């Protein structure tokens, strides 16, 4: 008995169709991308400049995160949900208290003379700090600055910061700068 041959399917065009479908889905779908943390780095210091920058202790708000993700605000144990309020109170210094940052009067276009805080938030974390806690702290500090900018924009221009013109936002950015300093990660508080 002779063996029957099985008819084959012509699949040469399947590769073309698969390629076209893949191209179609890649072109029409959107891919979510993480934006990261927006920070403006200071300009590099001149090499011949040996001048030490002197910042008064009252102008520094120290936030520390240890390897167990515990927070310290100026030496006191704190909770992440209190960080935004504490940062706003520190940077704003609404009552011009002696233990909070100094302010200097600056003439800002569109705002006039405005008392700008000299406050700096110093963020220090341990090498064992989790990324989740680090991002939470960054989010709270950024939210504090954003809320202060939004409040100023609404009080001066009658609109939210996001709706303000470019010139208005530039003026607000000069009045409320992002002053967050990050120290190199170290071991904090006797963790061995």
Q: What is the mean pLDDT of each run of 10 residues along the chain (192 residues)?
A: 73 84 87 64 63 73 90 87 92 84 90 90 88 91 93 92 92 90 63 41
Predicted local confidence at residue 150, as pLDDT: 94
Q: What is the pLDDT of residue 192?
A: 40
Relative orientation angle of helices 166-175 and 131-157, to the nearest 10 degrees: 110
DSSP 3-state percent helix, strand, coil across the chain (nearest 5):
40, 20, 45
Rounded (10°) angle between helices 80-92 and 131-157 = 40
The number of domains in the chain is: 1
Does 104 reside within a domain?
Answer: yes
Whether residue 131 is contained in a domain is answered as yes
Q: Give per-residue burial for 8-44: e unless 16+ CB within 10 Å, then b.
A: eeeeeeeeeeeeeeeeeeeeeeeeeeeeeeeeeeeee
pLDDT of residue 74: 79
Do the domain assignments include residue 17?
Answer: no
Instruction: Judge whether 157 lies within some domain.
Output: yes
Q: State residue 173's pLDDT score.
A: 92
Look at residue 5 and tell me if it is in a domain. no
Q: Is 21 contained in some domain?
A: no
Instruction: Say which residue the tokens 């009552």 belong to.
Output: 95
- Cα–Cα distance for residue pair 133/110, rounded to 1 Å: 38
Domain ranges, residue 162: 57-182
Report pLDDT for 49.
61
Regarding pTM above 0.85, the answer is no
Helix (H, G, I), strand (E, B) or coil at 192: coil
> In this structure, is residue 152 part of a structural domain?
yes
The verdict on residue 25 lying in a domain is no
């Amino acid at each position: 008995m002779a063996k029957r041959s099985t008819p084959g399917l012509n699949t040469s065009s399947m590769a073309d169709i698969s390629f076209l479908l893949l191209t179609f889905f890649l072109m029409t779908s959107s891919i979510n991308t993480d934006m990261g943390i927006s920070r403006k780095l200071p300009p590099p210091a001149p090499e011949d400049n040996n001048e030490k920058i002197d910042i008064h202790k009252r102008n520094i708000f120290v936030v520390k995160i240890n390897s167990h993700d515990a927070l310290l605000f100026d030496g006191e144990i704190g909770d992440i949900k209190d960080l935004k309020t504490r940062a706003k109170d520190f940077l704003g210094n609404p009552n011009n208290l002696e233990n909070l940052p100094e302010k200097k009067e600056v003439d800002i276009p569109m705002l006039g003379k405005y008392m700008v805080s000299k406050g700096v938030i110093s963020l220090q974390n341990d090498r064992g700090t989790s990324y989740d806690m680090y991002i939470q702290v960054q989010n709270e500090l950024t939210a504090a600055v954003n809320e202060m900018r939004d409040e100023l924009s609404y009080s001066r221009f009658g609109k939210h910061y996001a709706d303000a013109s470019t010139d208005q936002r530039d003026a607000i950015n000069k009045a409320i700068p992002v002053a967050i300093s990050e120290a190199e990660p170290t071991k904090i508080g006797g963790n061995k």
